Structure 1
């Protein structure tokens, strides 16, 4: 039924793709202006709606820039926030005022003094960052691949191994924001959420299919997720230890647990937890960027038993810590699972070489 519906929607997809193709052509020939800035912009984006792993890849890029001695800033649209217009994230903000991903970045890099801003119009966001933080040497754009009013020095395109752009269609028949040929703008393409042991043959097959749409000079890399030890939510000091051991006792016993997610693709996290010996008794699945309500946690509590950990993602945790959820969250032992990017083969070195050789600022 779903395939029949997609087939019926194809004419609308072709029309939408044609409109976007004209828009991109206007930028390509210079009839629509794409602005560059005094500092380079590095964009991490995708062709598909949601779930390709932008957040951990942005974090990897920022960590690498910091390691090189740069002073990066992060700019996002701030999807789902209650505010509008350009805004610098500050300690009095929250996921509600700046969005869950920007708030995660702000907390993740607070000790390294990485500025985070949100703006629907990225041009205004870059201007705000450079005015407020003139020491900034590079701005990392989260999800601005289709936002062509600004010109990135490096365009990073992500595509998920299980849902590659080359097998998808433009909205509404598929999940692509624009035609597959949009991959031609990418300076590097990263196939994400791969098994760490993905074979060379599988990598070659995916790369061959990507090459139908990408520039021949653009490297094609592969990345996997690396998961860290569970971490208790900061607001739950009485709920349990700061870290949990693996779920299996070593004698075949699996520790029951719950999972709560509001992200686009929660499957890999559940698979990881099960591989660590946890038996997921109930998975409360919500849409990406879902604003949790007290009723959601009341329903979750009905599936919980004392001694069972409740796992969630770092991005979801930014919304779970909202003040209005405090009473509903009380006593529930929430743990986040840190997610980091691990490149396959020499992918990490290849990414490092793609970063422009900027002079390191003086302290």
Structure 2
């Protein structure tokens, strides 16, 4: 029986489907009311040579279609792992931009890298960190005109800063009027010396005593409702590596460290699961993490395939042409992927 397929570029619609191996190709079913679309999606993509070419053949069996989908998933997994990804910055809202900049520069030793004011949208951004944005993980503060307070919520945990001497850093913070919520001392069940402080808006920072590191701004901790689900998602959709896990039954929580490089050299995502807690109030203060990628379009496909939700379809931003895509993880935490080349052009 003759089967007709028409190959087009474009968006998906009710009459066709995106080919799993070549997601840029749309397979439109011309006259096959009795053939399930899932069987057609398994058709050999090498027969689809160019737009407007028609191919004939018998539809693949259900098993063959499943095998083709599995192969495409494997290809996408490999691409995600090979993609040049790096955590670029973390975005959150503050009530007094000058006050926060003063605290981060004087107490935490950060540098103000740049500011941008967008009066037509009534907000200002400030970027701070320990090195240039093209090679370091940095903070993007957002001040919305006239808003001086936000709800941090219970889902956000803390940021991590690696310092040479925790005790001296705490002394400086106290001298500047900062709030210390945990005095310096060894972490429970370990040897690493830590302390906890709060910035003027109530964001918690963990100070970790380490030797010299290329990335002092080293952690973002978020709470999740299903740790195994989150680990699987960030491995498959984000291409992160599970660096380590640590269970603390005495205090009823488990953590998983995930990232694109070792903890001592790069920023990581610390996921925390508190026994029996499946949902958290996220408030309206913490916004998102931005991650660099070579292809926002393939990234969006991977996020969709492996359990995430796309909240902004991939494409260029109006005005600056930087390509991005935005998504939510299974717990609703937002991330934005930014085209690597476009990001560097933006910095210029």
Which TM-score band applies after superposition, normalised by the shorter structure?
Answer: under 0.3
The structure richer in strand per residue is: 2
The structure richer in helix per residue is: 1
TM-score by length of 1: 0.22
In terms of Rg, which structure is larger? 2
TM-score by length of 2: 0.23
